[in-house]
Structure 1
Amino acid sequence: MNIYIGNPHLCGYPLSKNCSASTIDAEQSVNHEDADHIAYLYLGMGIGFVTGLWVVFCTMLLRRTWAIAYFQIIDKLYDEAYVRVAITWAHLMKKTHDDAT
Structure 2
Amino acid sequence: MNNLVGEIPMSLSALSFLEYLNLSDNNLSGRIPESTQLSTFNASIYAGNEGLCGPPLPKCSSHETYQDPPEQTKADKIDLVIQYSSVAIRFIVGFWCFIGIMILKKEVRVTFFRWWDKICDDIYVQLALKLKKLKPQNGENSLFCAKCSRNNFN
Secondary structure (helix, strand or coil) at the match of 1:29 reads coil
2:120 is matched with which residue? 78
Q: Deviations over 1:1-39 (max 9, x none)?
A: xx46xx5x73332576x434xx21xx1504997666555
Q: Report % sequence identity.
A: 19
Amino acid at match of 1:67: R
Which stretches in structure 1 are left out of the alignment for 5+ residues? none
- Is 1:67 aligned to residue 109 of structure 2? yes
More contact order relative to length (CA 8 Å, sep ≥ 6): 2
Structure number with the higher helix fraction is 1
Which residue among 56, 66, 83 is the counterpart of 2:98?
56
Structure number with the higher strand fraction is 2
CA contact (8 A) 1:61 1:67 kept: yes
2:86 is matched with which residue? 44
1:83, 1:19 → 2: CA distance? 68
Which stretches in structure 2 are left out of the alignment for 5+ residues? 1-24, 30-50, 144-154
TM-score (norm 1): 0.64
Residues paired across the two proteins, number = 92
1:87 is matched with which residue? 129
- Structure index of larger Rg: 2
